[in-house]
Amino acid sequence: MMYATRARQARPELFDERPTIGERLGLAHIDWVLTFAAVGLIAFSVFTLGQATTHDVPGSPNYYVERQAIYGIIGIVGMVILGRIDYSRFRELRVGIYAFLCASIALVFVFGFAALGSRRSFELPFFSFQPSELGKLLLVLALAGFVIDGARRGSPIRRTIRYLALGLAPAALVFLQPDLGTALVLVVGTLAVMYFGGVPWTHFAVIGGGIAALIALVLVVAPAVGHPVLHEYQEQRLTSFLHPSSDPAGAGYQQDQSMVAIGAGQKTGRGNQATQTRLDFVPERSTDFIFAVIGERYAVVGAAIVLSLYALLIWRALRIVTLSKNSYGILVAGGIAVELLFQVFVNVGMCLGIMPITGIPLPLMSYGGSSVLATFLAVGVLQSINIQARLSRQGRFAW
């Protein structure tokens, strides 16, 4: 009894079971830098949309602003709730998560609505839900569980093939919608989980060679023999960035106008005189090309703020990889971090003319309920990994 009393006096926090107000709200061990980066991005998105889309919907100048703000608020609530759940439970639900992922994407072909030549979303009363956006997170959660539980089953080659098959199956379904950009994100997420799961580098070398051969087959061989794999517009988008000015009124139009808009912003920005984005010269400026709006209206300062927030977001995600209390958390945090990095790099590069146009949104900046909610939920999982790691170090557990 004497030793117990001394221990209680030395470390009272290990024995006091009464939760503090911060613990009851789920805020005691939250990563505030990660939260600041995510909330800062959605706030900048709402501000930018408010400046650039006032004339897009006749009679509703705040159409995009109001909806993006609602998506952001719901996303923040979801982030907080998910942060209070022990992420390790998702490992136990990996089969169900994977089945739901594939089923929801497949059902789009039957019940989804068609828009701009593709069928990607379900039309709901308040917004259109795109399962593949949530699938970016679900695939990481499920595949990380499969990698952990199959670490000692079969030879290394068999395991690598199994992981690839599990990751490429939903990616193939998304590709057939067609949605090349999201399919690429799923592939990158799969490779990231495999990397953090310890797949040998020699396997990645073989995978890299296979990807190079596949690209050559899709872009060169298949069209040459009269059996193209991609739609014509997809092929043009993938190749036009190499020479956007050669067809400024056709395949290179979007990228060319985006670069003109960013160049017009120069050092100080054009504000309300941003004619390239305000007068519809840049298509999809509320979604895929919102970075062009930032470049023209707010120039270097605006771009620096946005890129700094992304640097904070990805840095904290990678930091959480090192803090995780178990291997499952390392794989999940690593997969989420790489997916976010890939989306930011491709989208910004697309606007600057150094990457092909693939339709990948800029996380938390591009308008869209599915993308915003899915990204905040991913941040919520990162918060859960961080919270559980800190509680584990203190010898305590989240309720």
Q: What string of H, E and C letters represents the secondary structure of 63-118?
A: HHHHHHHHHHHHHHHHHHHHHCCCCCHHHHCHHHHHHHHHHHHHHHHHHCEEECCE
Lowest mean pLDDT among 96-105, 154-163, 212-221, 288-297: 212-221
Q: Are 173 and 110 in contact (CB under 8 A)?
A: no
Higher pLDDT, 27 or 296: 296
Strands 128-129 and 118-123: antiparallel
pLDDT at 10: 57
Lowest mean pLDDT among 67-71, 139-143, 290-294: 290-294
Handedness of CA 55, 61, 64, 69 (dihedral sign): positive
Tell me which amino acid residue 130 is.
Q
Indicate if the pLDDT at residue 271 is higher than 80: no
Indicate if the pLDDT at residue 17 is higher than 60: no
pLDDT at 249: 57
Q: Mean pLDDT over all residues of the chain?
A: 85
3-state helix, strand, coil in the chain (%, to 5): 70, 5, 30
Higher pLDDT, 225 or 4: 225
Percent of the chain with pLDDT over 70: 84
Which residue in this structure is represented by tokens 């771009």? 303
- Give residue-wise pLDDT tens across range 241-255: 666 565 555 566 777
Tell me which amino acid residue 160 is.
T
Indicate if the pLDDT at residue 78 is higher than 90: yes
Indicate if the pLDDT at residue 163 is higher than 80: yes
Q: Are 366 and 286 in contact (CB under 8 A)?
A: yes
Report how far residue 303's alpha carbon sits from residue 206's, in angstroms, rounded to the nearest whole number. Answer: 37
pLDDT at 20: 55
Angle (CA) 89-94-98 rounded to 5° is 140
State mean pLDDT over 92-100.
96
pLDDT at 397: 45
Domain spans in the chain, listed from the N-terminal domain onward: 29-393
What band does 223 get if pLDDT is binned at 50, 70 and 90? confident
State mean pLDDT over 34-44.
97
